[in-house]
Amino acid sequence: GAGVSQSPSNKVTEKGKDVELRCDPISGHTALYWYRQSLGQGLEFLIYFQGNSAPDKSGLPSDRFSAERTGGSVSTLTIQRTQQEDSAVYLCASNSPGGRNTGELFFGEGSRLTVL
Amino acid sequence: GDSVTQMEGPVTLSEEAFLTINCTYTATGYPSLFWYVQYPGEGLQLLLKATKADDKGSNKGFEATYRKETTSFHLEKGSVQVSDSAVYFCALSDQNTDKLIFGTGTRLQVFP
């Protein structure tokens, strides 16, 4: 596709349920990032992929959070046993067309997660 | 670790007023610096960037100069428009991992 695509755009779930958020980056972009945007908190880095590897997963808040990327393309962020504090907008971004880091991240419109 | 601090909002201005949004950073080495903008209902997009000291990034009438001596990258525009109403994020790149570290964002509201 032309841009970074994320799904679902909105997700409401009950506390304790698992959720999966999907990101489809721009074709050819080798780097993929997940951020979390909470009200008044700015953008919090979660994890970064280069190809299918994650050299930096330092931002994952707890072991309930995990992410994978397959085929150097689509990524899934999974949150297990969701808590109310997980409510936020989860943003995906991609970079590095053909492996060349341009310094510019291209963001999707985000997945808004609400945990009741 | 590396960090970015930007002024809290909201910043409320009348159309054609002068805009400054302050941003300072803490980093080891020499990061690249960025301003991203998030218009209502849209995803974040790059507004401008500067990759080394004294560089000036500019776009859509906005400017920011990379000041190493004051570790700052303040965003300025001489005459704002209602369409500039958005949230503005200052960011730096981590040279080791290529990830961006963002500030908390500053909401700008411009009234006619």
What tens digit of pLDDT does each residue of B30-55 get? 899 999 999 988 889 999 999 999 99
A43-54 tens-digit pLDDT: 999 999 989 999
Task: Please name the residue of chain B whose CA is at the shortest distance from the CA of residue A102.
Answer: B98
Q: Which residues contact B8 (CB under 8 A, 6 or more apart)?
A: B104, B106
Judging contacts by C-beta atoms under 8 Å, the chain A residues touching residue B34 are: 103-104
Which is nearest to A33 in space by CA: A9, A58, A8? A58
Q: What is the pLDDT of residue A61?
A: 94
Q: What is the pLDDT of residue B97?
A: 65
Q: What is the pLDDT of residue B99?
A: 82
| Residue A108 binned pLDDT confidence (cut-offs 50, 70, 90) | very high
**Taking 90 as the threshold, does the pLDDT of residue B7 lie above it?**
no
Q: What is the pLDDT of residue A104?
A: 83
Q: How far is A82 from chain B (nearest CA, A)?
A: 24
Burial (Cβ within 10 Å: 0-12, 13-18, ≥19) of residue B71: middle
Q: What is the mean pLDDT of residues A58-64?
A: 94
**Taking 90 as the threshold, does the pLDDT of residue A97 lie above it?**
no
Q: What is the mean pLDDT of residues A26-34?
A: 92
Look at A36-40, A58-62, A87-91, A111-115 and tell me which has the smallest mean pLDDT. A36-40
**Taking 90 as the threshold, does the pLDDT of residue B96 lie above it?**
no
Q: Average per-residue pLDDT in chain B?
A: 93
Q: What is the pLDDT of residue A2?
A: 77
Token digits of residue B2:
């590396």
Q: What is the pLDDT of residue A89?
A: 95
Q: Which residues of A touch B (CB under 8 A)?
A: 3-4, 31, 33, 35, 40-43, 45, 48, 50, 55-56, 91, 93, 95-96, 101, 103-110
**Taking 60 as the threshold, does the pLDDT of residue B86 lie above it?**
yes
Q: What is the mean pLDDT of residues A7-30?
A: 95
| Residue A39 binned pLDDT confidence (cut-offs 50, 70, 90) | confident
Q: How far is B17 from chain A (nearest CA, A)?
A: 26
Of A55, A95, A109, the CB nearest to B43: A109
| Residue A99 binned pLDDT confidence (cut-offs 50, 70, 90) | low
Q: Average per-residue pLDDT in chain A?
A: 91
Q: Scan residues 37-76 of B and list those with Cβ closer than 8 Å to A.
A: 42-46, 49, 51
Task: Please name the residue of chain B whose CA is at the shortest distance from the CA of residue A39.
Answer: B104
User: Could you tell me whether strands B56-59 and B75-77 are parallel, antiparallel, or unpaired per DSSP bridges?
Assistant: unpaired
Pairs from B41-44 (Cβ < 8 Å, separation ≥ 24): B42/A109, B43/A3, B43/A4, B43/A91, B43/A107, B43/A108, B43/A109, B43/A110, B44/A43, B44/A91, B44/A93, B44/A105, B44/A107, B44/B89
Of B43, B89, B98, the CB nearest to A108: B43
**Mutation to test the A interface, candidates B2, B32, B44, most A Cβ within 10 Å:** B44
